[in-house]
Amino acid sequence: MFARIGTFSGAPERVDDEVTRQAQMETFRILQSIPGFAGVHVFADRQIGKTIAISLWETEAAARAWEQMRGPIVDEQLRPTGHSEQESATYELLFSSTGDARFLASATS
Give, in degrees to the nearest 5, the angle at Cα 75 between 69 and 77. 100
Show the domain range for 47: 2-108
Q: What is the pLDDT of residue 43?
A: 94
Q: What is the pLDDT of residue 81?
A: 86
| Number of domains the chain is built from | 1
CA pair distance 73, 45, nearest whole angstrom:
23
- Quick one: how far is CA 106 from the chain centroid? 24
Q: What is the pLDDT of residue 106?
A: 52
- Residue 36 sits in a domain of what CATH number? 3.30.70.100
Measured over the CA atoms of residue 41, residue 88, residue 62 and residue 104, the dihedral's sign is negative
Q: What is the pLDDT along the chain (109 residues), one digit of tens a residue?
A: 999 999 999 999 999 899 989 988 999 999 999 999 999 999 999 999 999 999 999 999 999 999 898 888 888 888 888 888 889 899 998 888 766 555 555 555 4
Instruction: Write down the H helix ranges in the chain.
Output: 18-32, 60-78, 101-108
Do 9 and 49 contact (CB within 8 A), yes or no? Answer: yes
